Structure 1
Amino acid sequence: MRGRDKTAGQSWLNEMRLLTASLRVRFILLVVSLFCGLTIVMIMAASYLDLRDEEKKALDRASAVAVTVSRLAVPHLTNHHYLILEQELESIVADPLVRHVQVFDPARNISVDGNPATSYFDASEMPADMARVLETGKQTFRLAGDLIEISVAIRAHGGEILGAAFIGIVRPEAGTVIWTIWQRNAVIAVFLLAIAMPITFHFGNGFLKPVRHLTQTAHRVSAGDFDAPFPVDRRDEIGVLARAYRDMVHRIRENLEHIHWLAFVDDVTKLFNRERFRQELEAAITAAGQTGEALAVLFIDLDRFKRVNDTYGHDVGDRLLLEIAGRITRELGIADGPVLSAGRSGAVLATGRLPEQPVVARLGGDEFAVLLPGRIRVSAAGDFAVNIVRAVAAPIDIAGVSIVVGASIGIAAYPSDATTCTGLLKNADIAMYQAKNGGGSGFRYYDAEFDRIASDRVRMEGELRTAMAHHEFELYYQPQIDAAGGTVVGVEALLRWHHPVRGVLAPGTFMDIAEETGLIVEIGAWVLETACRQGAIWARAGGNLRVAVNISQAQFLADGFAETVLEIVERTGLPAHLLELELTESMAMANTELVARAVDAMRGGGIRFAIDDFGTGYSSLAHLTRLPFDAFKIDRTFTAGIGVDKSAMVIVQTILAMARSLGYESVAEGVETPEQLAFVTSHGCRHVQGFLFGRPMTAEAFELWMAQHAARELRAILVAVKGGAMAKTLGDVSNLDAVCPRAVA
């Protein structure tokens, strides 16, 4: 018996599955379900609104009763007719919806209610709401169980409060109201459903018949029958869908191999792309883990490629990448060169095997990667790297232009450096950056110390992002001296970072990170405004000190930089002629026309400009004559060579002569000894700056230094230099051999 019941149950389930498998049945069930769901939502929404309406009616009814009682009570309270008032309240309470009515006369402390069993002579407790109404004169109401309780003030015609009325009205029972509403709405829903079902069946059959036909055709196509007929002769949406599906199948049939090519091959270099390289590397790691062989990954990044793109455009950059890809593959001994015939044939990746030859890929931008198979020793990866660097460095002629780039390569090995695809690429990338930081055009094997350096760099980047918000930056000021008069004519604002762990950091430890992350613009804006604000304070105190501020290239090239500078000068109150902006020589020479336009706009407002670190770049005399600058600042590396390096002294003398010829002022940085001071002043340098006069110091320390030591110390230094024999000796560059015996030797 149980067996027959079980068999019957399974048969019923199978029939239900077959029944619901029909698209027609599913469509009808969907429509019915949606209709029922919407009906339930409609009934619930209508029931809620009706219930709220009933409650509002009850509240309006209670308010009307309260107004009636208030009006009836006015003459009776005025004339103290409490008995008549009591009778009228009893008639109101006779209404089954009115549970309680009470009037209170504060003048005689008498309470009258509509309860026949009580009298106004009886002592009764006055509700708290009535006392509140007597105090404020405002109507109150609240819901208390099955009652709506309202308290109103009874006012005379002049507005005077004569007393208070308290009314309790019966609330409609929510359950009874909801049940009545649901019965009404349910009848409406059943009626609508009875009408909708036949209509749904009729239109469902007509709509789904061509869909079933199209579905059957799609199944035949998925089984490999690309010649299955589509109902393309229909003029409705089904016909449009059929024609689109037919065309799509045709395109898929023709372009399947091309899709595979696009998925795994870089379109510019015809090398594998990042995804295909990842698959190859993971497959090689799996195979090497089984055989115990080692693998090597080379991460290649081109040096100076961005400059090529920016100068000649992306078309030339793409042709350069294609040529570089060909050189790399030829150095690795890949016969096909950069064009991968396997990619075009749609070959599927074979997993669990080691590659028979090196695998080359372009990861993106100017980055390439090479996977050396296990048969090549990891120690030999350096030889491949040397050959690739040499091949890439050879000049490339594109469109009549000879282009020279370099390659920095990082090498990571499996399993010694990492055991995953991500780890190998990451560590090879870290090693590549070490090669690039070492000057480029070379290679580095991965070292765990590189990882620590990279982690420190990432950590410092995060700390640098929060340093501004935590007010960890401060400006130090180094005095600039007029060597002729011994007076302080200005200061250079120098940034310092009060790192919470590493202490006070100079810009050299973090400025390159700021430039890479773009934080240099925000930091530079803070430096400029802070320096201008401090300079304005000194100017108002009577100090005529010029404030020099270094400007980064990103900051200078930012949109609206000139307007920002002029606005800061005006806002801080610093006289414009006391602000000097310093641009490095390489910045000034990069785009002289752009620099000249931007500088002219600010010099028109009175701001001075200086070329910083002069002598370290590649200035053109023709360009220098067109740049609207005010001063040269001789780089400290040349100043440090005075008395030691004959060539440095010649360079300093030449720069000073050039400055005089072009009408530029000159400032010698890094003056630390009397000999250096004597040399630069004897050759016409009037303004000097360096540890000989004062180290960079905070604004407060600088003010104290000025007040206590500056005048006396500067006079002593200058008198000693001018009166000493060193000034006479260094005054003529012909005596350099006597001054620099080590340089001559």
Structure 2
Amino acid sequence: MRQASRITGGASSLSISARFSLLIALAIVLMGIVSGLTTASRDYSTQLSVVTGRVESELLSHPDLQFAIYGADTQRLKTRLDEFLREDSSASAQVYNGQGKMLVSAQRPDATAFTPAAFNLIRRSLLPGDPGLLSFDSSTGTPQETGFSSALFDPDAPIYQTLPVFTEVNTGKTGLSATDFAIAMTMKPSSSSQRIIGYVQVLWDPSVLRSKAIAAGTRVLMINVVFALMCGAIAWAFTYRVTRPLRELANIADSIASGQVKEPIKVQGSGEIQEIARLFNSVIEGLSDSKKVHEVDKRLLSLKVEERSSQLSERNVELNKVVEEANEAKNRAHHLANYDNLTSLPNRRLLTEQLDLLLKLNQRSGHTLALLFIDLDDFKRVNDSLGIGAGDQLLVEVARRLSHAVRDSDSVGRYASSNTEIDVARLGGDEFTVILNQLDTAGSAQLVAQRLVQKLTAPLAIQGRDLVLHPSLGIAIAPNDGKDVESLLKAASIAKFHAKQTDGARIGIYQSNMAQEGEDRLRLESDLRKAVKSNALSLHYQPQIDTHSGSVLGAEALLRWEHPELGSIPPEKLITLAEDIGLMGQLGDWVLVQACQQLRSFEDEGIKLAKVAINVSAEQFTPTFIQRVGVVIDETGIDPRQLELGLTEAVMSSNDPETIASLALLKASGVYLSVDDFGTGYSPINYLAQYPLDEIKIDRSFLIDAEKSDNGANLVIAIIAMAKSMELRVLASGVETESQFHFLTRNGASLIQGYLFSKPVPAEELKPMLAPWHFVDRVQKLADSAP
């Protein structure tokens, strides 16, 4: 049988009553502290709201501030600022113009002297038309709340109130008068026409507002302290009388709760007390049993908590991943909309937006801006010869050089910090622009342009080849050459085109007379489009002579344009113009149809022309063109062997299965395939063994080099020998002198085309030359004159 424990009273007679009364007193004191702080905070906010509201009302009551800010009338602005400093909590006030430049500042004599922070720092998180109310941590300089807590712990940090000053007047104009502003004030305000002419800023001393707020809060706190003391005394007296019979039982309950009593207890007292003792004994037994159950439940709960924590951790990781992916998608979308995918430079859209903004800002401030327009004269040749991949590498390298060169030119001109990074942009293709903002002088743009040309003309390696670029650069200055984006881009483009057309020039500075040249160019482009539609072009034919027999083995069809006003347009200019405006595909199809129809016409007249050659650019050589060749041959009814396609090396450089299949298809149909201007591009010569070719044409430039040096002559001899070893025919084009004729025939090149025999002539003039052995006498005389 367990031994019972005997417990009697011995605890302090005042413990329960003291605790109860102390609890009530502390609760009321805490409520008083909270109420005092709340009152102080509310009073502080009310004061701040009142004084800032008065400043806004004061600003609205002085519409003459618009004209004073516009005219930078410091005396009038000084007078108005004194009216903003009537409140004893104000420290100083300033007026800024629309660009953030301080016009005037006023200090309240009896206030703390604060040094205002930079205006762009104060306004950096606000929209131009938003009012601002903020403060900065005096130790770290970071933005903080303007509430009572900031004033309580950091009274040395002033509160900045900035208010925009709106006007209906177009401040971009010059020479505005007070009458203009007065008339605008009488008009009904329109949010779409209002402009920000400046800002009024007031610095509030938080220590003054804090002192008043603390005084109000202290009064409330003192009232609550007195009330707490009274309530505590009353509670103590009441609980002392009520709890006296229960103190012994309370001590027993404390012992049971603390686990000091584990055996049944016995107490002395009335029947009610004995009943409570029996209840305590049952509680002791229940606690012992529940403790065991609690330990088991605690372990189970711990396991569940760990499992749930692991699940929440995994879910948190998944949510973070989703947020990161969303941010990445947002950034990608922004980059795709505003930046070039290849070079990562700003694109035309971003350039247009930011250039428009810079032009408007410079118009207000009177600063100078220069736009440089750059393109690469020989980009198409690289793209055609080495392929699109090489062209992309070239553009990336050009973008890198331009960006570095602009950053290296900081000593030449000042650049505005707009956080847009649009100094260099790519408009498309091989066209780039450079913006030089806020130049010291207009001549500085030419110094930067020279630096850019120097950087771009340095040799660069593309696919194992050292290339030298030939850039053309146009300069336009705003606002003299253009006050908006479109006119400035047009002026820079015209200057660039003028530099391209001027021999030896790399840089063109826009002049007013260049506009006429640009208009002439546009008119010529329009005339060419009309000439194509009206069939105003023509083909001339240059015969290809077999020096063994003196007969014509074929003729090359060459495009000609006789302009009604300008006369004959040089072929080089015609082709360049067609390429620039995207007409090469249409012109190529026209040449194909006309040449085949002429062959058909010769056949109908009983005149035999073995074949006619047309030149095909890489832009034309598509699956659609391959099908078109078959359709035209069928429609005209000519023998496919009478059609020769002179392919550029750009077609061969692609080296893809589709090109090989297309050439094989043409070859199988009987079409004669040749390589035009062999060796002038950057393509590897291994394509000669890969593609089903019939002939290579030696370009005129090789013949000129052969006359100048032994190396040039040896190169031509090597080309002839290589073609013969691969069973390819060799045609020398551009032969003009007897010495070239003797050099070629002596080294095994018997097919010749050039002015030595005939210039390109119309089809009617070609007819007599197609008679058998027409050139026999000429060939014989040339052979007899051999040294």
Sort the TM-score into its range (normalised by shorter chain).
Answer: 0.5 to 0.7
C-alpha distance 677-269 of structure 1, shift in aligned 2 (>3 A)? closer
Instruction: Check whether the contact 2:706–2:714 (CA below 8 A) recurs between aligned residues.
Output: no
Q: Distance in 2 between matches of 1:361 and 1:711?
A: 62
C-alpha distance 484-393 of structure 1, shift in aligned 2 (>3 A)? closer
The SS at the match of 2:725 is: helix
Q: Distance in 1 between matches of 2:737 and 2:459?
A: 46
C-alpha distance 593-434 of structure 1, shift in aligned 2 (>3 A)? farther
Higher relative contact order (CA 8 A, sep 6+): 2
Asked if 1:580 corresponds to 2:657, the answer is no
Q: Distance in 2 between matches of 1:723 and 1:590?
A: 45
* 1:48-97 deviation line (CA, Å, top 9, x unaligned): xxxxxxxxxxxxxxxxxxxxxxxxxxxxxxxxxxxxxxxxxxxxxxxxxx
Q: Distance in 1 between matches of 2:405 and 2:753?
A: 51
C-alpha distance 418-612 of structure 1, shift in aligned 2 (>3 A)? same
Q: Distance in 2 between matches of 1:397 and 1:478?
A: 39
The corresponding residue for 1:360 is 423
1:719 to 773, 780, 784: 780
C-alpha distance 601-330 of structure 1, shift in aligned 2 (>3 A)? same
* 1:133-162 deviation line (CA, Å, top 9, x unaligned): xxxxxxxxxxxxxxxxxxxxxxxxxxxxxx
Deviation at 1:407, TM superposition (A): 6.2
Instruction: Check whether the contact 1:409–1:443 (CA below 8 A) recurs between aligned residues.
Output: yes
The corresponding residue for 1:681 is 745
The corresponding residue for 1:671 is 735
C-alpha distance 364-681 of structure 1, shift in aligned 2 (>3 A)? closer
Q: Which amino acid aligns with 1:296?
A: A
The corresponding residue for 1:654 is 718
* 1:166-217 deviation line (CA, Å, top 9, x unaligned): xxxxxxxxxxxxxxxxxxxxxxxxxxxxxxxxxxxxxxxxxxxxxxxxxxxx
Q: Which amino acid aligns with 2:477?
A: A
Q: Distance in 2 between matches of 1:686 and 1:490?
A: 13
Deviation at 1:597, TM superposition (A): 2.3
Q: Distance in 2 between matches of 1:685 and 1:309?
A: 30
Q: Distance in 1 between matches of 2:574 and 2:568?
A: 12
Q: Distance in 2 between matches of 1:494 and 1:689?
A: 13
The corresponding residue for 1:559 is 623
Instruction: Check whether the contact 2:436–2:445 (CA below 8 A) recurs between aligned residues.
Output: no
Deviation at 1:689, TM superposition (A): 1.4
Asked if 1:297 corresponds to 2:371, the answer is yes
C-alpha distance 317-391 of structure 1, shift in aligned 2 (>3 A)? closer
Instruction: Check whether the contact 1:480–1:491 (CA below 8 A) recurs between aligned residues.
Output: yes
Q: Distance in 1 between matches of 2:764 and 2:582?
A: 31
Q: Normalization by structure 1: what TM-score?
A: 0.52
Asked if 1:508 corresponds to 2:585, the answer is no
Instruction: Check whether the contact 2:423–2:435 (CA below 8 A) recurs between aligned residues.
Output: yes
Q: Distance in 1 between matches of 2:781 and 2:530?
A: 48
- The number of residues matched between the two structures is 451
Q: Distance in 1 between matches of 2:682 and 2:357?
A: 47
C-alpha distance 411-341 of structure 1, shift in aligned 2 (>3 A)? closer
Asked if 1:471 corresponds to 2:471, the answer is no
Within-5 A mapping of 1:129-528: 268-269=344-345, 273-288=351-366, 295-301=369-375, 310-311=388-389, 323=400, 326-333=403-410, 343=419, 360=423, 362=425, 364-365=427-428, 367-374=432-439, 376-390=440-454, 408-414=472-478, 416-418=480-482, 421-435=485-499, 442-448=506-512, 450-528=514-592
Instruction: Check whether the contact 2:459–2:467 (CA below 8 A) recurs between aligned residues.
Output: yes
The SS at the match of 1:451 is: helix
2:698 to 634, 645, 669: 634
Q: After superposing the two structures, state which structure 1 stretch, 646-655 or 474-483, moved more.
A: 646-655
Q: Distance in 2 between matches of 1:401 and 1:676?
A: 30
The SS at the match of 2:670 is: coil
Q: Distance in 1 between matches of 2:781 and 2:604?
A: 34
Q: Distance in 2 between matches of 1:499 and 1:361?
A: 39
Q: Distance in 2 between matches of 1:638 and 1:659?
A: 15
The corresponding residue for 1:169 is none
Q: Distance in 1 between matches of 2:560 and 2:749?
A: 28
Q: Which amino acid aligns with 1:299?
A: F
Q: Distance in 1 between matches of 2:500 and 2:507?
A: 8
Instruction: Check whether the contact 1:548–1:582 (CA below 8 A) recurs between aligned residues.
Output: no
The corresponding residue for 1:354 is none
The corresponding residue for 2:300 is none
Asked if 1:533 corresponds to 2:597, the answer is yes
Deviation at 1:547, TM superposition (A): 2.8
Unaligned runs of 5+ in 1: 1-221, 225-253, 345-357, 730-745
Deviation at 1:380, TM superposition (A): 2.3
Instruction: Check whether the contact 1:281–1:371 (CA below 8 A) recurs between aligned residues.
Output: no
Q: Distance in 2 between matches of 1:275 and 1:496?
A: 43
Deviation at 1:671, TM superposition (A): 2.3
Q: Distance in 1 between matches of 2:458 and 2:704?
A: 37
Q: Distance in 2 between matches of 1:595 and 1:427?
A: 41
Q: Distance in 2 between matches of 1:681 and 1:313?
A: 39
The SS at the match of 1:628 is: coil
Q: Distance in 2 between matches of 1:409 and 1:660?
A: 45
C-alpha distance 324-615 of structure 1, shift in aligned 2 (>3 A)? closer
Instruction: Check whether the contact 1:327–1:391 (CA below 8 A) recurs between aligned residues.
Output: no
Q: Normalization by structure 2: what TM-score?
A: 0.50
Asked if 1:550 corresponds to 2:628, the answer is no
Deviation at 1:486, TM superposition (A): 1.1
CA RMSD of aligned residues (A): 4.6
The SS at the match of 1:551 is: strand
Instruction: Check whether the contact 2:607–2:767 (CA below 8 A) recurs between aligned residues.
Output: no
Q: Which amino acid aligns with 2:356?
A: R
Q: Distance in 2 between matches of 1:341 and 1:447?
A: 30
Q: Distance in 1 between matches of 2:503 and 2:622?
A: 28
C-alpha distance 462-321 of structure 1, shift in aligned 2 (>3 A)? same
Deviation at 1:319, TM superposition (A): 8.0
C-alpha distance 451-475 of structure 1, shift in aligned 2 (>3 A)? same
Unaligned runs of 5+ in 2: 1-129, 133-326
Q: Distance in 1 between matches of 2:504 and 2:621?
A: 27
C-alpha distance 440-561 of structure 1, shift in aligned 2 (>3 A)? farther
Q: Distance in 1 between matches of 2:714 and 2:461?
A: 39
Q: Distance in 2 between matches of 1:487 and 1:313?
A: 43
C-alpha distance 294-487 of structure 1, shift in aligned 2 (>3 A)? same
Instruction: Check whether the contact 1:641–1:649 (CA below 8 A) recurs between aligned residues.
Output: yes
Indicate the percent of aligned positions where both proteins have the same amino acid.
30
Deviation at 1:361, TM superposition (A): 5.8
Within-5 A mapping of 1:24-103: none
Q: Which amino acid aligns with 1:716?
A: D
Q: Distance in 1 between matches of 2:495 and 2:565?
A: 27
Q: Which amino acid aligns with 1:297?
A: L
Q: Distance in 1 between matches of 2:467 and 2:675?
A: 30
